[in-house]
Chains A and B, each alone.
Chain A
Amino acid sequence: MSVRALLDIHVARKRFADTTVLKDVRLALQPREAVSLLGPSGCGKSTLLRIVAGLEQDFQGELRRPDGEVAFVFQEPRLMPWLTVEQNIGFSDDNHYDRAWVTQLIEEVGLKGFAQALPKALSGGMAQRVAIARGLYSRPQVLLLDEPFSAVDAFTRMKLQDLLLQLAEHHAIALLLVTHDVDEALYLSDRVLVMDNRPSSIRQALAVELPHPRDRRDPRLAQLKALSLTALQQAHVI
């Protein structure tokens, strides 16, 4: 399975002070695949994501990242409040960012006309759209998302989920997403990995073999939800 994987990680052990957070976690991401990590708060799924992103380097194990870019979308938009939407999207290239590409991204995330707006003037959902556009700016092969929609209301969340799927499809990006929303995990991903409490490892992998675009009311999603809830229960998460 990991022959042509985009990203390959094996965390033998990751500890914070005296607590082991992650133990023997293996994960491979195929091109264009969407994988969700589902688990309780504090189980180390965000830590795993941060290790993949290179933000956390103190761990035992191996990480093979793709040759191309890996981008990160945080739980909060984390926009620079002193920069306009446009400047925030092209942030990684200082002031000589590719304007045409930024303009295209602004249109793709549905913020046409907001290029010169400051983050203060944006709603939470709009700010997160900017954050996604900033993630896409570097033309990544893998987009890592840490509970990206947990801070927005339910309707905005559904819209942003659809936007994310559409963008991932259009730009051929693989997604690795951390969430504790079962519906979100099932709706977005090809595989859902259920993690248990610390020291956590991947307890169960659920394949979601449904074609896109998916219907949120699809009974098969409901069945999978029941399965994942059982898995979470067995993992003593709920």
Chain B
Amino acid sequence: MRVVNQPIRKKDAMSLVTGKPVYTGDMVDKNALVVKLLHSPHANAMIQEIETSVAMKVPGIEAIFTYKDVPQKRFTMAGQTYPEPSPYDRLIMDQHIRYNGDIVAIVAGENEKAVNKAMKLIKVKYDVLPAVLDFRTAKDNETLVHPEENWVANCPVGADNKRNLCAHEVSGHGDIDAVMADCDIVMERTYHTKANSQAMMETFRTYTYMDTYGRLNILSATQIVFHIRRIVAQALDIPKSKVRVTKPRIGGGFGAKQTSVTEVYPAFVTWKTGKPAYLVYSREETQTCGCPRHEMELTVKIGAMKDGRIRGLEVYTLSNTGAYGEHGPTTVGLSGHKPIPLYNKYQEAHRFSYDVVYTNVQAAGAYRGYGATQGIFAVETIVNELAAELKMDPVALRELNIVREGQVMPAYYGETCNSCALDRCLAATAERIKWNEKYPCKDMGNGKIRSVGVAMSMQGSSISNCDVGGATIKLNDDGFYALHIGAADMGTGCDTVLAQMAAEVMECDVDNIIVYGADTDISPYDSGSYASSTTYLTGNAVADACTKLRESLQKIGASIMGCSVEETGFDGKKVYRLEAVEGEKNEVSLVDIATASMVNNYYETQFTSMVSSPVSPPPFMVGMAEVEIDTETGDIKVLNYEATVDCGTPINPNLARVQTEGGIGQGIGMALYEDITYGADGAIAENSFMQYKIPTRQDVGRIHVEFEASYEPSQHFGAKSIGEVVINTPSPAIAHAVYKATGVWFRELPITPEKILKGLQEKNK
């Protein structure tokens, strides 16, 4: 392929590296009202009284809103296709405060100083209630997080607010109990992962203003413009036709911006006052009032034979959705449906069950990996524990059991695996890290031990039978094309990747395609950039729209040449007769076609395609970590990380590589540093980058990534997703390496030096 599979520079690269003002915060009218939110200091409370009249007297204060001022229709902030699986459990503000940080008042004023002063003058009397802070005690607790009668679950997800249940399900195939009873070895272990923050460098922020037509315009750092339009319209109880949402460049998303964290508040201010308004979350708010990964406790049972054949897997997940149910019923599904199919070969049965519970802590949301990350940590670790128990090489154990191309995967909704290079990924990674030499560990003789660990991963490519990818391609003067998309480039490079696909079909240079997105007034509908959907699904929409445009260009060319369209071809620069006829016009340039399309024209030169997919083909990955542990201090360093990815055809190998390196970097943070702990009042201790340590460039070792391409037949270019699959291997691979160095399994993340030292001390007792 000419343009696809090439390491092309991102279209916006030079603007970004030279610091151009292209983000939400760079585009705010200096006269916009400064909006800030007053947060609750209690985890569970009813507001008895709230007094704002003194605060309103501060010079420069425009408005203060409380729960008394907002519409009473419940909604969810989860950016999902309607009807959302996430329950409608929110109001813009509620008299019932449900976590330490919940929103008590919206303050809008001319400047920050005035707003800060007014915030201090708001007097609130709380009736403080007992709070559910431990998610293991949430189900059927007498304290209800959502006792209200107008709580609504739109989809049958097993939710029951009178039991603190946001979702519940049991699924499976085969007779798991009989298979387990027949296995040579059955192991059961419990694992615990934390509510990690996405920690994108640009915190949540939204700018709102009224336009010429009296419509509410929302410029926001969001991955989901169309969902934001619906969410805001519902929250404000106004027609969707009154709302327009656009996104400029986004300073990172990782799923955080798949939830409407900040949009409704300035939108409410602008709708009420008619004035432009801007809300930017501080890092502290982003850490404590955002939408982190769901904390999960996973109990895994594995049944195998002495020769290593894995015959049964059982996963029970307890997921903590926090005070509100955003993405609660859906993230949990991936904790079973993504790891279990990896061991498909001899799998006769599986059972996957879960409870998603409400508690009085920060509501969770979508974070890269979306439940798969947690499930893969648990299942990959128990497979490594099984290998230790069987005294088998964990790479050999995997080679024996992994899913292969052509297999039906009962634990993956019965889908057939039509593209899979997982076996090649495993072999290539083992060879590069020199697994056979380094496994299990090497005593360096100075109190330090080096060891290696392994893990695999799969994800999906879009939500099958749900997501919609949309693309519009338009011919312009001189023969350049405009590609309009509703997907959101959040730094991932989808503007460029989709332009590469368009250029491939149109047989032109990628510079001949201009890209615009995303704007709810202009862009074709697209679910948005999440669920690893854009390259795979929106990519198919681009290819389809471009194919239609090609056909139409040939029709115009044929009409100019006076022949039938069947007699013509198109090579990107001209429409020509397949067989030249002497004395006749034998070709028409693209420029002439573009010009002709603007004079007395009867042909379409703009096409939109909308596509969905009945399948969600999994990309695969293998990661191997080499770590060094200081047995005197428990200090752990990642030295090397080798990874091999099967994302089908990498559309842009550079961007796919950086996605992978970045995902591994985040995964290393999850494995070793990033913790979330709560005080007795439900407040999060790790509320800044001072306490919530994300990896620096000195913490990630050397990451090395290669690709083993398969070809996914359901995608125009054979591509699968890349964005999420890449975050899942570090936690289990590092936990495995730590075991090899210390002889101790760490089943709770993060694996800090303190835990390692304590583990070593207990083992040596």
A binds B: no
* Chain A residues within CB distance 8 Å of chain B: none
